[in-house]
Chain A
Amino acid sequence: MRKKTYAATALLAAALMALSACDSSGGGDKPATVVAEQSSQQAATVLDQPFEKPDLVLTDTHGEKYDLRKETAGRPTLIYFGYTHCPDICPLTMSNIAVAKSKLPKAEQDKLRVVFVTTDPARDTPAELGKWLGMMDRQFIGLTGDFATIQAAARSVGIAIEPTKKDKNGKLVSVHGTQVIAFSPKTDAGYVVYGESTTVEDFTKDLPKIVKGQNP
């Protein structure tokens, strides 16, 4: 109830908002900036030539050694490369997967492995990763470790990432992958790729097939 009042107040505030200055002088014509293009790509791309699962041994959110191939053998697996200091795409992608996964029957949820590999291992410690992923789904697996190892693994599945660096204002800037790769429980190969415009509906529709190793 209190929330409702708050929203109503906010609405009123929004309705009353006004532009203060209204200066009629200078009509300087500035060059137009680019308006980003609307890309409407297909959510799932089934690969003709599947990727081999990266041979990756890193540290999980409990600080334990995690051997990706061994731990996910015979399991439907989604892998994404991102970082927790990422405001837009990384939390959106992982939240979309979390919600879609929650719609699966319990047994299938338990089978599915969702692996988030950090691209920013210096800031994403096991504890940081665990906290962030735990906000979305406690079953999510977070991996951190040596950047060069992570970069090589990403490259092996067609994902280009760069080390975290400082921008001109001294802020740390990291790079996330733009794709989620689904690995089949039948072949352990990465056979479907999802682009970053994939919605929660797309994942919800496809996961029941992915967990069975079928084409979406």
Chain B
Amino acid sequence: MRRATTALLTAGALAGTALLSGCGGSASASGDGSGARPDLSVGSAYMPQPVSDSMAAGFLTIVNKGGAADELTSVTSDAAGSVTAHETVGGTMREADRLTVPAHGRLEFRSGGDHLMFDGLKRRPEQGQMVSVVLHFAKSGELRVEMPVKPATYNPSTGH
């Protein structure tokens, strides 16, 4: 059991940092010229094991190394009926429409701030499992992320 858990966590960590190869050889279009385009990758993805059997939160960071911004237009997952991006301001949560990933910048979903909200879960994700998520962008198309399910108390800054 112990070994299995370790293996799962390692797999999760690796999957969480798996990068998108982007536009291959023509990447690093760092100039701001007309050829600039977004170059996206996703890291630090995790889902805290939800308490509820119908809804969960998910977190990740989208990094854009490209010279043009992109927009996250929607998020889908086989695991849930719907996934929406939420902004939390104070204790209030509201649904966000399109979120920009700035050129040479990042869009962060993190606990206490913006988060992905999974509604209508098909089954309750358990620690050690993976949840498949597809991020849809205005320019970069689709980006698939395997989100490891972490303990309910997981804190990415302490790593446990």
A13 vs B55: C-alpha distance when bound (angstroms): 24
> Is A161 at the interface (CB under 8 A from chain B)?
yes
A26 to B: closest C-beta gap in Å: 7
Residue interface bits A1-43, CB-to-B below 8 A is 1, else 0: 1011011101101110111111110111111110110000000
Q: A199 to chain B: which residues have CB within 8 Å?
A: 153, 155, 158
Q: Are A89 and B129 in contact (CB under 8 A)?
A: no
Q: B57 to chain A: which residues have CB within 8 Å?
A: 87-88
Q: Are B7 and A85 in contact (CB under 8 A)?
A: no
Q: Are B11 and A8 in contact (CB under 8 A)?
A: yes
Q: A196 to chain B: which residues have CB within 8 Å?
A: 112
> Is B141 at the interface (CB under 8 A from chain A)?
yes
Q: How large is the interface on A (under 10, 10 to 19, 20 to 34, 35 or more residues)?
A: 35 or more
A29-B69, A91-B152 known; A19-B107 Cβ under 8 A:
no
Residue from B51, B118, B148 whose CB has the most chain A CB atoms within 10 Å: B51
8 A Cβ contacts from B86-144 to A: 86, 88, 90-95, 99-103, 105-108, 110-115, 117-118, 128-130, 132, 139-144
Sorted from nearest, which 4 A-B pairs have the closest CB atoms? Answer: A21-B141, A32-B102, A10-B130, A95-B152
Binding site for B on A (CB under 8 A): 1, 3-4, 6-8, 10-11, 13-15, 17-24, 26-33, 35-36, 84-89, 91-92, 94-96, 99, 132, 135-136, 160-162, 167-169, 171, 173-178, 196-197, 199-201
19 CB < 8 A contacts A-B: A3-B128, A15-B18, A19-B143, A20-B142, A23-B140, A24-B35, A27-B33, A27-B67, A29-B32, A32-B102, A33-B101, A36-B110, A87-B118, A89-B91, A91-B50, A92-B152, A132-B51, A173-B94, A175-B90
Binding site for A on B (CB under 8 A): 4, 7-8, 11-12, 14-15, 18, 20-24, 26, 32-37, 40, 48, 50-52, 55-57, 67-71, 86, 88, 90-95, 99-103, 105-108, 110-115, 117-118, 128-130, 132, 139-146, 148, 151-153, 155, 158
